[in-house]
Amino acid sequence: MRAFDYTRPGAVDAAIATHARANSAYLAGGTTLLDLAKINIMQPDQVVDINGLGLDRIERLKDGRVQVGALVTNTALARHELIETHYPVLSQALLSGASTQLRNKATTAGNVMQRVRCPYFRDGTSPCNKRDPGSGCAAIGGVNRETFAVLGTSDQCIAAHPSDMCVAMAAIGATVSVMGPNGPRDIPFDAFHLLPGTSPAREHALEPDELITHVTLDAPPGGARSGYLKLRDRASYQFALASCAAQLSVEGGVIRAPRIALGGVATKPWRATDAERMLDGKVPSRALFEQAASAAFNGATAYEHNAFKIPLGRHAIIAELGALTGLETMQEVS
């Protein structure tokens, strides 16, 4: 690994000021940063360790929302009573991601900031507009199966966002609180991750030197139930081919406040708002779920090796909606 300087500030302001003095990276759990620093994809001259900032608490706010500190580990978040009770989708998504060792180290903010798993991004030599803007995209026309998207792609980049946690947060609804040289601000979760468009190198809404301090989860509506279904090449320790996070309630026999987000199939944690609108106020049925699932993939673009993700993703939605509403949907689906 290339040499870098290391500092461990004791306050957020100091961390931001230190970060601004050099080509820097914030160090939370380090499972992405050190991985990519070892292969020169990330090359900070200075690492600012933010583990001394006290951002490792989970609190329920008076308005019912739950505020999660940036440094809460994936393990701690998944196991927290508030999360297990009110946001099972988040707990399930976290526990479906990575390995025990990585979850013990990886943090909430670090997970939000994790980089794509595109092998052409990681190899350091192939054309990649994310790593080397303007160089092209080796994945388009290359091998583009497991870690590639069918939604939100552009002719510049088709890498799927790799997070499970973020898919759950997109379904729940959340706010990313950041602190920067110009003070604090809040970013809606849906607006945090950016589509690749014509500038795949810009992945998120953070301004230079800004630091995520918290992610605050929306309060779930009364009676809400939620869950996460992840489909992958092996049963554990594998990125999603397609996943579905869903939260809804059923009142008087009809679906209320449905929230659906998809993982593994899109370039950012993907809200399926068209599907949500179709479900709202309707009586649960398999036919309804199939319609909603189809709507979720309207406009999808299949590439050479990942066309299977479109039906797979639809099935993930149908199965998860079935699980949440008590309908049997796991039989053959069209």
Partner 1 sequence: MTEHFDPGTQQDETASTSRRHFLKTVGASGVAAASVPLWGPAAQARAADDPPPRSDAPRQGLSRIRLNINGHLHTVDIAPQMVLLDVLRNESGLTGTKKGCDHGQCGACTVLVNGQAINSCLSLAISHQTDEITTIEGLEHNGELHPVQAAFWEHDAFQCGYCTSGQIMSAVALLNDKQMGESDAAVREAMSGNICRCGAYRNILAAVQDARQVMKGGA
Is position 102 an interface residue for partner 1 (rule: CB under 8 A)?
Answer: yes
Q: One symbol per residue from 17 to 46: x for binding partner 1 (CB under 8 A), - otherwise; what is it?
A: ----------x--xx--xx-xx--------
Does residue 204 bind partner 1 (CB under 8 A)? no
Q: What does the alpha-carbon distance between residue 221 and residue 277 come to, in Å, rounded to a whole number?
A: 17
By CB under 8 A, residue 60 contacts partner 1: no
Is residue 157 involved in binding partner 1 (CB under 8 A)? no
Closest CB to partner 1 among residues 39, 61? 39
Q: Which is nearer to partner 1, 14 or 205 (CB)?
A: 14
Whose Cβ is closer to partner 1: residue 21's or residue 38's?
A: 38
What is the phi-psi region of residue 242: left when phi exceeds 0, alpha when psi lies from -120 to 50, beta otherwise? beta
- In the structure encoding, which two tokens stand for residue 333, read together? 């689906």
The answer to whether residue 308 forms part of the interface with partner 1 (CB under 8 A) is no
* Member of 100, 135, 198, 298 binding partner 1 (CB under 8 A): 100
- When the beta carbons of 117 and 256 are compared against partner 1, the nearer one is 117
Contact (Cβ atoms closer than 8 angstroms) between residue 290 and residue 327: no
Quote the CA–CA distance of 250 and 273 in Å, as a whole number: 18
Separation of alpha carbons 31 and 163, rounded Å? 13
Candidate ranges 101-109, 147-155, 217-225, 254-262; the one touching partner 1 (CB under 8 A): 101-109
Contact between 94 and 228 under an 8 Å Cβ cutoff? The reply is no
Q: Amino acid identity of 314?
A: R
DSSP 274: H
Alpha helices in 193-327 (DSSP H): 273-279, 286-296, 309-325
Contacts to partner 1 by CB under 8 A:
1-6, 8, 27, 30-31, 34-35, 37-38, 47, 49, 51, 75, 79, 98-102, 104-105, 235-237
